[in-house]
Structure 1
Amino acid sequence: SAVEAAVQDGLESAGPVVWVVSARSDAALAAQAGRLAGFVEARPEVGVGDVALSLAVTRTTGFSHRLAVVGGDRGQLLEGLSAAAAGRVVPGVVTGAGAGGGRVAVVFSGQGSQGVGMGLGLYGVFPVFARAFDEVCAELDGLLPGSLREVIAAGGPELDQTVFAQAGLFAVQVALFRLWSSWGVVPQCVAGHSIGEVTAAYVAGVWDLADACAVVAARGRLMQELPAGGAMAALDASSEQVAELIAGREGVAVAAVNGARQTVISGVESVVDELAGVWRERGGRARRLRVSHAFHSPLMDPVLEGFGRVLEGVTCREPRIPLVSGTPGADVTDPAYWVGHVRDTVRFHDVVEAMRAQGVGVFAELGPDGALSAMADGDAGTWVPALRGGQDEPETALRALAGLYAAGAEVDWAAVTADEGRAVRVGLPTYPFQRQHYWPK
């Protein structure tokens, strides 16, 4: 009946939810998933939000063997539980044995990862994200040639303009960081790729929001005002091979070292194209990047003086969260560092190695896509992108959170379920102890 349908609708969440289970062994984890599935199937009056809340606040979530089932409705969640109980792999189910040890780095992607509507799916579901996004946009809109939110919603060529691309990434990344912080994710350190390092500096406490927005807006505007042209190309080459390739050439530089064999060159278009051709002739791969300017190259030199004046007008503080730079010993409170940052090589591979040396095993990529995760070398730990371009944002973000949890990170699941509104605690099945008999020898 219509009444029954309305009651059932009230039992479902407005958005995706996560059911989390932990145990001391894989066998106990599977048994617990099976018990929970049977319990939920037998009680259609119990809402999915009730189950999520009860698992978060009445059960231990910190055992080493972990399971998280993410779904938008009862059927999807039950299918995931049943699959976990049977040892099958299905979408929306994340399992792990906490191998990451709980040490998490948060990394922020650079320009090129922006996309139409980025963050707006989260905006409609998570109030913490929405408040942070609105706060950043309110600061930036007076510094930009238009409404940042409208440009993000519309996408197209305007969003790809440097002035809006960098500001948009900053707004989305800051809001993601606030959201994940509200969920109890505490990073050991933070870092970023190009404009992403500016976001990392802000969340670490180097600038307050007004000063960070002034830096972001000026950086994008000054780059945008440079003459169009220049080019960038990604080569499957080591930094040493690229240094030899470009030796003695004017107007070109190593823009980024992203991996052991992932290096980007940047500069005058004719020179970049010629060198990319030489590399292909040697049997390598070279791919032109879709950019309007040659970032991190000598072609950035004309903006440095003006950007330096902007940085002299803001207050830099010591970071409260360790900020890992690709330049060992760099002083991130010195305005000169951020001026050089526009022009110098992005040594992201060195950043990752430095974080791994600190014991970080899990990297949470905050941005609209998995650009940094895609570049990660195979042995560089567990990479978890918060969002994936073109995929449902709330569900993707919760799956990413589940991935962090399965890798050993601590998550405040009670806070995650706080937005369930009318959810109430229900009695759940008890822990399935795996009893063993020991016989005297």
Structure 2
Amino acid sequence: MLEWRTMVIEHMMSQSTSTLPVYLKIISEPSKQRISSDPDNHKTSPTTGHHTDNLYSIAAGMTPGELSEALAQLTVNLPQPNRNIAFLFTGQGSQYHGMLRDLYQSSSDVRNTIHRCHDYLLAKHGIDCLAVLFGSNVDLINRTENTQPCLFMAAYTLASLWQQIGIQPDYLIGHSIGEIAAACFAGALDLESALDCVAIRARLMGQLPKTSGMVAVIADLDKTIECAQGLPIDIAGINHQKQTIVSGDYAALEQFNSQCQNMRIRTTPLCVSHGFHSRHMDPILDEFYQEVSGIQFKRMNTPIISTVSGECIDEISADYLTNQIRQSVNFLKAAESLPDQPLFHIEIGPQPILTRMIKKIRPNNQIGLASLNPKIKDPIALINCLHVLANQCEIDWDFVKSGLFS
């Protein structure tokens, strides 16, 4: 990154709602003023081929003082012609009460998308996502029948928002429930059908006996299998080279933890309602398939790298989604199947989880960006990402000025 030499103020806005003031400044500089050994690369967006006259940067704050501080540290990110974009759709465990609240308050486009999902889920499936996300009962979000629809809604809203801004991904990866959001975004099924899939999946899982759980193991797959020898334990997920997830009933997990301790392997129980991606899902598979088998699936417009097979796919089916409930989530293999080149990895979910995993899998020259972060106000987190991407794609700056804060 290079420091600004000259600055042309294109736009400054102080936009307030009843509860969420946001101060935004967009700055542009004529690209011909940029000294470079290859100036043409800095005038063309690598993703769209769009020729630009200016280089952009953007800063935001919740107060004028925060904006001034952000501007004092502002630098320009030059285009990187060979760096494509991957959207990573987060799975269960990333949820928290109040997620999306700030964007819901600041953007009418976000509100409209959330209301479209909420109204359909409430009318057809009796799921009140607004009450779950923003109501007084903070525990509702952690009930599987609520968690999965709310996570889908968050992912679909964020992916749609990035698309409106001008960010179009080259690759998609979805972790568990995130794969349905990725498939919907890629056009494999329409929004209402995707909401049906998610609501049915969540309802059936939520109705299962709460007799099983999940444990994260700080070990590779082979070592985890060794620890599970002789126990009714299933490999539920392979997150990266040094973290594997297992599912089992509580008695089996207790024995598994003891065997891990004997081998000096650290484990952490996960805060989940059931042992997902395991034999404990078997009782719902037939019913799930029957309920979603009438959905019409289409070929995707953006490839998904499957966390079931680790391969690039361009279509899914009721069979695939049923199998996905039972099979391990192999995020490691999916991430390794991305092209061997630098990428922007944008987390499409409530907090940075998959971007942290992918840094362990692909540590060299990868850039991870979190759409949301519970430690940062939503619009600021989004603007921080947009600052990095400002000259990478053909950004719709008019939408940024009005659609994000309206």
Specify the TM-score bucket, using the shorter chain as the normaliser. 0.7 to 0.9
- Greater mean alpha carbon deviation, residues 385-394 or residues 177-186: 385-394
Q: 1:165 aligns with which of 129, 147, 166?
A: 147
Q: What do the CA deviations read for 1:5-61 (whole angstroms, capped 9, x no partner)?
A: xxxxx96332242424467699979xxxxxxxxxxxxxxxxxxxxxxxxxxxxx844
Corresponding residue of 2:122: 141
Higher helix share: 1
Aligned to 1:266: 247
Q: 1:398, CA displacement in angstroms?
A: 1.4
For the residues of structure 1 that align with 2:402 and 2:155, how far apart are their CA atoms? 22
Give 1:187's aligned residue.
169
Contact 1:108 1:196 in 2 (8 A): yes
How big is each residue's C-alpha offset from its partner over 1:74-131, in whole Å with a ceiling of 9 and x where there is no partner?
A: 44333333x34xxxxxxxx465444473411111101111111211210111122111
* Structure 1 pair 223–100 and aligned structure 2 pair: CA distance change class (3 A): farther
In structure 2, the residue matched to 1:78 is 68
The percentage of aligned residue pairs carrying the same residue is 26
- CA apart distance, 1:283: 2.2
Matched, 1:227 2:209: yes
1:341 to 324, 332, 336: 324
Mapped to 1, the partners of 2:25 and 2:264 lie a distance apart of 47
The answer to whether 1:322 aligns with 2:303 is: yes
| 2:14 matched residue in structure 1 | 12
Residue type at the aligned position of 1:78? S
Residue 298, structure 1, aligned to residue 279, structure 2:
yes
Shift of 1:158: 1.6
SS in 2 for 1:176: helix
1:320–1:274 CA distance, 2 compared to 1 (3 A): same
CA distances 1:272-299 after superposition (whole Å, capped 9, x unpaired): 2222232233222210000110000110
- Read off the aligned partner of 2:323 and give its amino acid letter: G
Within 2, Cα distance between the matches of 1:11 and 1:402? 16
Aligned-residue Cα RMSD (Å) equals: 2.7
1:52 aligns with none
1:249 aligns with 2:231: yes
Look up the match of 2:42: none
User: In structure 2, how many angstroms separate the alpha carbons of the residues matched to 1:330 and 1:75?
Assistant: 48
Structure 2 residues not aligned, in runs of 5+ = 1-11, 17-21, 37-51
Equivalent position of 2:7 in the other structure? none
| 1:141 Cα deviation from its structure 2 partner | 1.1
After TM superposition, the structure 1 stretch with the greater mean CA deviation from structure 2, 147-156 or 410-419, is 410-419
Structure 2 CA distance for aligned equivalents of residues 330 and 187 of structure 1: 15
Is the counterpart of residue 404 in structure 1 residue 393 in structure 2? no
Identify, as 1 or 2, the structure richer in strand.
2
Q: Could you say if the C-alpha distance between residues 214 and 269 of structure 1 is closer, same or farther in structure 2, counting changes exceeding 3 Å?
A: same
Higher-Rg structure is 1
Aligned residue in 1 for 2:373: 388
The correspondence of residues 266-285 of structure 1 with structure 2, limited to 5 A, is: 266-285=247-266
SS in 2 for 1:376: helix
Residue of structure 1 equivalent to 2:5:
none
Q: Which runs of 5+ in 1 are unaligned?
A: 1-9, 30-58, 85-92, 423-441
Structure 2 residue 359 is matched with structure 1 residue 352: no
Give 1:393 deviation, angstroms. Answer: 1.2
CA 1:391 to 1:79, structure 2 compared with 1: closer, same or farther past 3 Å? closer
- Helix, strand or coil at the partner of 1:402: helix
Number of residue pairs the alignment of both structures matches: 369
Which amino acid counterpart does residue 394 of structure 1 have in structure 2?
Answer: P
Q: Which amino acid aligns with 1:12?
A: S
Q: Would the alpha carbon gap of residues 126 and 281 (structure 1) be closer, same or farther in structure 2, given more than 3 Å must change? A: same
- Per mean C-alpha deviation after superposition, the further-off stretch among 315-324 and 412-421 is 412-421
Q: Distance in 1 between matches of 2:33 and 2:259?
A: 53
Normalising by structure 2, what TM-score? 0.83
CA distance in 2, matches of 1:391, 1:181: 22
* SS in structure 2 of the partner of residue 221 of structure 1: helix
Structure 2 contact 189–296 (Cα < 8 Å) conserved: yes
Map of 2:198 onto structure 1:
216
| 8 Å CA contact 2:23, 2:64 repeated in 1 | no
Question: 2:3 — aligned with what?
Answer: none
Find the aligned partners of 1:13 and 1:115 in 2 and give their Cα distance. 27
Whether the 8 Å CA contact 1:100–1:362 is kept in 2: the answer is no
C-alpha displacement of 1:354 = 1.4
Query: Are residues 418 and 329 of structure 1, via their aligned partners in 2, closer, same or farther at CA, if it must alter by over 3 Å?
Result: closer
For residues 295 and 111 of structure 1, the distance between their equivalents in structure 2, rounded to whole angstroms, comes to 10
